[in-house]
Amino acid sequence: MRYYCKAPNGFTLVEILLVVVIIGSLSAMIIPRLTGRSEQAKIAAAKADINSMIATALKLYELDNGFFPSTSQGLKALLQKPSTNPVPQNWNGPYIEREPIDPWGNPYQYASPGRYRPDYDLFSDGKNKNTEEDNITNWK
């Protein structure tokens, strides 16, 4: 006579608890290392927008027209031809694909001529709009 031992179906409570403990331990080690990385990524993205993407679009606008958009025209002049003075005669845009919004969901701030630079000031208010400590600018 042969006796067969039937294999158990499913997992035991001990096996499930062991897996939960392992996942919890790994999470406890990894999550603190990743905390704050999303904010660092947003800052890096805003710096790239200000110093590369929007700056290049503004330089192309200035190259085509001989001047930067005025403060009142703002960065919208990069998307559609302004109808207010100074009206660009050689507008060859759009110079950007979408309205420039910072990683926190706010529009970038623009002024031309600038207060800190002779051509233009461009900045993001950062995470906290009420303080200047976290502003990302093109003049610092």
Both tokens of residue 8?
A: 């158990």
Q: What is the mean pLDDT of residues 83-106?
A: 92
Residue 31: predicted pLDDT: 72
> Which has the closest alpha carbon to 104: 38, 58, 24, 51?
38
Rounded CA-CA distance 131/102 in Å is 16
Both tokens of residue 81?
A: 């031809």
Just give the CATH number of 45-137. Answer: 3.30.700.10
- List the chain domain ranges: 45-137
Read off the pLDDT of residues 116-133 as tens digits, 9 standing for 90 and up: 999 999 999 888 777 777
Q: What is the pTM of this model?
A: 0.72
